[in-house]
Amino acid sequence: MISTKVFEILLYGFYHYTKSYLSTLAVLQFDAILVGAKKVYISKTKKNNKNQEPFERMMIMEYELIGIGKVKMTVGIRRRTKEKVQYCITAISGI
């Protein structure tokens, strides 16, 4: 018989890996996300995040993918050129 604690750990692992898998599937739908995503908000970059140093702001966009759910796309806005660069795609709600 599985203890409650072990069950909770397994359930957490399943949830975590399911989210990772959905994010991987979302990346495969990049063209649909790029065309259909709507801007939610723009925020400043995180001060202690080395990966965000080249950017002055981060634009958060969302799109609903069939079979995957809501997907968040983060776009970095470069400091000097104002060029927009896709930074991250994450599934934020499962099917």
**pLDDT level of residue 7 (50, 70, 90 thresholds):** low
Among residues 86, 25, 22, 91, which one has the least CA distance to residue 58?
86
State the burial class of residue 32 (Cβ atoms within 10 Å of its Cβ: 0-12, 13-18, 19+). middle
What's this model's pTM, rounded to 2 decimal places?
0.74
Q: What is the pLDDT of residue 81?
A: 94
Span 58-87, pLDDT tens digits: 999 999 988 888 999 999 999 999 999 989
Instruction: Compare 26 and 48 and report the one with higher pLDDT.
Output: 48
Residue 92 has pLDDT above 80, yes or no: yes
CA 38 to chain centre: 14
